[in-house]
């Protein structure tokens, strides 16, 4: 004992030998409270004579850190009347009250000092206990408490019934503990404690309505500032969670469905709390959540677009892929984890839609090339509605349909810029193509022309893309391209005219001149079809441009056809000069030459496209028959007898049949010309006046451009001198002429007799001549009233007319 006394065991400041320090509690305030309760209890005695109160107190103090020992020593050193527990900052500790953020801030700053003090106290206690064990020897074996109380051989008594402990009061968490919950992503629980703290602050401020967040500044209370700071930390975690969940599944790609469910629970709790706060003090976390979704969507889209290859079109494709990928994540993982009342899918879809609208608006405000503007308009009008919105459930939207990505004014501006650029680019490109093609017209090489194909490709590039964007834009683009095509065709017409008016070209290029002309004609059909198609697609204002285009092409086609026909009939003219001669009645030589030459030249014309070829063959058919009938009505050969009329009518029928077979072989569509020569043969051969009248009526009906002068010349050829019969026959032609005075003249391609010069009319004997040379009795004879003009004494071969 003296040794032990010398070691200071009896000192109340040290623990007794054989006793161990009690484990310290996690809450220093509970330890201190227990210490005070034991100090205030009744004193007792131990077998060693020491005070029970002092032993318990020392054992309690042995487990405390130097910081806590200092607190206890200060407590004892206080005044006897100060019985309330106080914190290390001098504040009174009331059970059930929440510790403020300042206390825990100081605790955090003193963490290093507390850890160092605990280590020193534990080391000192261990050294003293080891020394005591060396002095007392080995520890004797003791019986348990049950062996001392219950004798051997007896049954163990039943344990005493457990007395139910009273329910413990739930202690409010401190500000730092709430912050720790936020950092651990226990967001719903943290929000509940924040709401409790806000309610305490409201109760302490007098029970009025909570102040709006902006009022919680440095001038407010400490608890109000704590609430504001906790809400800021909570929102940072919430919006960070929104960003992380959009990254998709996978390690490190975002939080799970549980965290999203907590986010949704926080929104529901805060929305309910906003109803209690009132409109002025409402925190509106649901609206801020929608803003955070929009910010996250903007970041996702901006990260996907810059690295995409292919210009703006490639960036738009990357945006489409990213948007579909993220909306699949929202539909599959995120939206089901949110509460149903929040409409999570609708919020995410609107956020992405708004972010995409901002991106497209910024792109539209830049000066884009024509191809990028086309890509932007097409993606806005077609790709996004069909391939993005068409794959998501638009019916799930709570507030109706989504608005447009770009405003109508922005779209109109983009379309106007496209139309302006297309007009300028196509005009320059078309003139360049025409200039390059014209350089080959005067060359000796027979190269195929690609002018029409190049022009169509230049214009169709725009006229095919614009309707795929919108119908209205397609109409505007068609009108623009048709106007440019009309200007091009007018320039093309002028250059073709200069080419054919140059006699040096025809002389220097006799072999390739026909090929060049056929190539120019072949440009007409595709360009005409393009103009018609653009006029059908364009607005009604496109009709003048279509007419101008058609007029230019018609002029070019007629000019080239006339050039080709003139070249052909220059070669045929010697054969036509042999017609309506005496030799012609007995020999088909002249007509055989005509048929042979036409058949040989038609092979070269086959290279022409179908439409202009049919028009050229029809013109050749009409012109050949005009050249055949012209010498007949000029009176080269007159019939003096019925036998001569019969021979002449037979020859006319044979020639008409041979020409008909020729032009059928050439695929002529001018079948209306086949009956003109047979009708003339019938008028020459018929003998009775009524039959001739009927035939003349049919002739006038089928060929409205025939005149009485043509019929009179035909009667002169057949030798009809009977005035009454002539007047009766000519009266038929006169009546038909009078009935058709108001009718329009036949079109140029249906004219026949209009191209045949009118024969010189018969003349009437003047009254002085009749009175001086003829007796008055013969004036009553009507057959002498009009006589044909006498022919000159010398027979001069008439010059062939073209």
Last residue of a domain, one of 711, 731, 750: 750
Please report whether residue 512 resides in a domain.
yes
Please report whether residue 190 resides in a domain.
no
Do 382 and 468 meet the contact criterion of CB atoms below 8 Å apart? yes
User: Cα(732)–Cα(708) distance, rounded to whole angstroms?
Assistant: 9
Whether 530 and 623 map to the same domain: the answer is: no
Whether 584 and 510 map to the same domain: the answer is: no
CATH number of the domain to which 535 belongs:
1.10.357.50
Whether 737 and 615 map to the same domain: the answer is: yes
Q: How many Cβ atoms sit within 10 Å of the Cβ of residue 791?
A: 10
Please report the pLDDT score of residue 744 as a whole number: 54
| DSSP one-letter string for 333-350 | IIHHHS-GGG-HHHHHHH
Please report whether residue 541 resides in a domain.
yes
Whether 532 and 667 map to the same domain: the answer is: no
In DSSP terms, 787 is beta-bridged to: 763
pLDDT in tens, 362-420: 999 998 999 999 999 999 999 998 888 877 665 556 555 788 899 999 999 999 999 99
CATH number of the domain to which 660 belongs:
1.10.357.70
- Alpha-carbon distances, residue 563 vs 155, 527, 560, 620, 691 (angstroms): 140, 21, 5, 12, 42
User: Cα(248)–Cα(303) distance, rounded to whole angstroms?
Assistant: 15
User: Cα(509)–Cα(515) distance, rounded to whole angstroms?
Assistant: 10
Whether 599 and 518 map to the same domain: the answer is: no
Instruction: Give the structural domain span for 512.
Output: 411-561
Whether 502 and 641 map to the same domain: the answer is: no
Provide the domain count of the chain: 2
Please report the pLDDT score of residue 445 as a whole number: 74
The three-class DSSP label of residue 45 is strand
Please report whether residue 609 resides in a domain.
yes
User: Cα(534)–Cα(529) distance, rounded to whole angstroms?
Assistant: 9
In DSSP terms, 45 is beta-bridged to: 51
Please report whether residue 396 resides in a domain.
no
pTM of the model: 0.66
User: Cα(697)–Cα(682) distance, rounded to whole angstroms?
Assistant: 12
Please report the pLDDT score of residue 761 as a whole number: 54
Last residue of a domain, one of 730, 750, 770: 750
In DSSP terms, 51 is beta-bridged to: 45
User: Cα(29)–Cα(97) distance, rounded to whole angstroms?
Assistant: 12
Ramachandran assignment for 756, one of left (phi > 0), alpha (psi -120 to 50 degrees), beta (any other): beta
Question: Which residue ranges in the chain fall short of pLDDT 50?
Answer: 1-96, 103-115, 129, 131-132, 134-136, 139, 141-150, 212-220, 250-255, 762-802
Whether 416 and 471 map to the same domain: the answer is: yes
User: Cα(719)–Cα(726) distance, rounded to whole angstroms?
Assistant: 11
Please report whether residue 14 resides in a domain.
no
Q: State which H helix or E strand residue 325 sits in.
A: helix 311-329
Whether 583 and 537 map to the same domain: the answer is: no
Q: Which residues are within 8 A (CB) of 769 and not within 5 positions of it... i.e. 6 or more apart?
A: none
Whether 530 and 608 map to the same domain: the answer is: no
Please report whether residue 506 resides in a domain.
yes
Please report the pLDDT score of residue 63 as a whole number: 42
pLDDT in tens, 164-216: 666 555 667 888 999 999 999 899 999 999 999 888 888 876 655 555 444 44
Whether 654 and 697 map to the same domain: the answer is: yes
Whether 534 and 500 map to the same domain: the answer is: yes
Q: State which H helix or E strand residue 622 sits in.
A: helix 610-633
Structure token digits, residue 12: 């109340």
Please report the pLDDT score of residue 100 as a whole number: 55
Q: Where are the alpha helices (DSSP H) in 403-542?
A: 408-438, 451-469, 471-501, 503-508, 513-522, 524-537
Please report whether residue 131 resides in a domain.
no
Whether 625 and 700 map to the same domain: the answer is: yes
User: Cα(665)–Cα(659) distance, rounded to whole angstroms?
Assistant: 10
């Amino acid at each position: 004992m003296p040794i032990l006394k010398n070691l200071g065991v009896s000192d109340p400041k040290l623990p007794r030998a054989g006793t161990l320090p009690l484990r310290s509690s996690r809450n220093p305030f509970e330890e201190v409270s227990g210490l005070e309760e034991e100090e205030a209890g009744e004193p007792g005695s131990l077998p060693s004579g020491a005070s029970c109160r002092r032993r318990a107190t020392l054992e309690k103090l042995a487990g405390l850190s130097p910081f806590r020992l200092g607190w206890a020593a200060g407590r004892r050193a206080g005044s006897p009347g100060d019985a309330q527990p106080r914190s290390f900052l001098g504040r009174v500790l009331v059970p059930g009250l929440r510790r403020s953020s300042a206390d825990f801030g100081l605790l955090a700053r003193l963490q290093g000092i507390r850890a160092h003090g605990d280590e020193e106290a534990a080391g000192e206690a261990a050294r003293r206990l080891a020394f005591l064990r060396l002095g007392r020897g080995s520890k004797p074996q003791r019986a348990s408490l049950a062996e001392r109380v219950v004798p051997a051989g007896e049954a163990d008594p039943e344990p005493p019934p457990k007395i139910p402990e009273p329910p413990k009061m739930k202690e409010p968490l401190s500000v730092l503990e709430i912050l720790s919950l936020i950092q651990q992503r226990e967001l719903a629980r943290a929000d509940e404690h924040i709401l409790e703290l806000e309610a305490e602050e409201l109760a302490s401020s007098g029970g009025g309505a909570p102040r709006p967040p902006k009022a919680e500044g440095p001038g407010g209370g400490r608890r109000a500032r704590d609430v504001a700071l906790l809400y800021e930390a909570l929102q940072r975690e919430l919006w960070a969670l929104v960003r992380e969940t959009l990254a998709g599944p996978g390690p490190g790609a975002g939080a799970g469905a549980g965290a999203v469910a907590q986010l949704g629970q926080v929104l529901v709790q805060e929305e309910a709390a906003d109803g209690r706060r009132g409109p002025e003090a409402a925190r509106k976390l649901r609206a801020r959540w929608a803003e955070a979704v929009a910010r996250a969507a903007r970041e996702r889209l901006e990260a996907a677009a810059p690295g995409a290859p292919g210009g703006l079109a490639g960036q738009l494709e990357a945006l489409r892929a990213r948007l579909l990928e993220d909306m699949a994540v929202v539909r599959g993982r995120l939206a089901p984890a949110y509460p149903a009342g929040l409409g999570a899918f609708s919020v995410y879809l609107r956020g992405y839609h708004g972010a995409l609208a901002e991106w497209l608006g910024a792109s539209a405000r830049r000066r884009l090339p024509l191809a990028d503007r086309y890509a932007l308009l097409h993606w806005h009008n077609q790709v996004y509605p069909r391939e993005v919105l068409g794959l998501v459930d638009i019916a799930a939207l709570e507030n109706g349909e989504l608005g447009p990505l770009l405003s109508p004014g922005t779209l109109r501006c983009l379309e106007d810029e496209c139309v302006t650029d297309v007009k300028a680019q196509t005009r320059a490109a078309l003139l360049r193509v025409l200039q390059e093609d014209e350089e080959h017209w005067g060359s000796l090489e027979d190269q195929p022309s690609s002018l029409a194909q190049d022009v169509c490709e230049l214009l169709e590039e725009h006229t095919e893309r614009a309707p795929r964007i919108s119908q209205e834009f397609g109409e505007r683009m068609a009108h623009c391209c048709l106007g440019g095509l009309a200007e091009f065709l007018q320039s093309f017409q002028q250059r073709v005219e200069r080419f054919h008016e140059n006699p040096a070209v025809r002389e220097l290029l006799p072999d390739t001149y026909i090929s060049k002309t056929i190539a120019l004609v072949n440009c007409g059909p595709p360009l005409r079809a393009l103009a018609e198609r653009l006029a059908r697609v364009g607005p009604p204002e496109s009709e003048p441009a279509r007419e101008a285009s058609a007029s230019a092409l018609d002029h070019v086609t007629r000019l080239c056809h006339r050039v080709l026909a003139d070249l052909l009939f220059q070669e045929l003219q010697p054969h036509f000069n042999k017609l309506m001669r005496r030799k012609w009645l007995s020999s088909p030589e002249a007509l055989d030459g005509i048929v042979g030459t036409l058949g040989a030249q038609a092979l070269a014309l086959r290279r022409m496209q179908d439409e202009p070829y049919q028009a050229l063959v029809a013109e050749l058919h009409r012109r050949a028959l005009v050249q055949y009938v012209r010498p007949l009505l000029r009176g080269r050969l007159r019939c003096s007898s019925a036998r001569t009329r019969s021979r002449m009518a037979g020859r006319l029928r044979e020639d008409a049949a041979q020409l008909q077979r020729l032009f059928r072989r050439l695929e002529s569509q001018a079948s209306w010309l086949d009956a003109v020569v047979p009708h003339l043969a019938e008028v020459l051969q018929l003998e009775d006046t009524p039959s001739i009248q009927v035939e003349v009526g049919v002739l006038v009906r089928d060929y409205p451009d025939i005149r009485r002068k043509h019929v009179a010349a035909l009667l002169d050829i057949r030798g009809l001198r009977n005035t009454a019969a002539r007047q009766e026959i000519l009266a038929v032609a006169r009546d038909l002429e009078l009935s058709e005075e108001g009718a329009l003249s036949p079109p140029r391609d249906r004219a026949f007799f209009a191209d045949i010069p009118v024969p010189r009319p018969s003349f009437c004997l003047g009254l002085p001549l009749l009175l001086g040379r003829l007796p008055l009795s013969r004036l009553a004879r009507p057959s002498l009233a009009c006589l044909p003009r006498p022919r000159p004494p010398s027979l001069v071969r008439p010059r062939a007319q073209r």
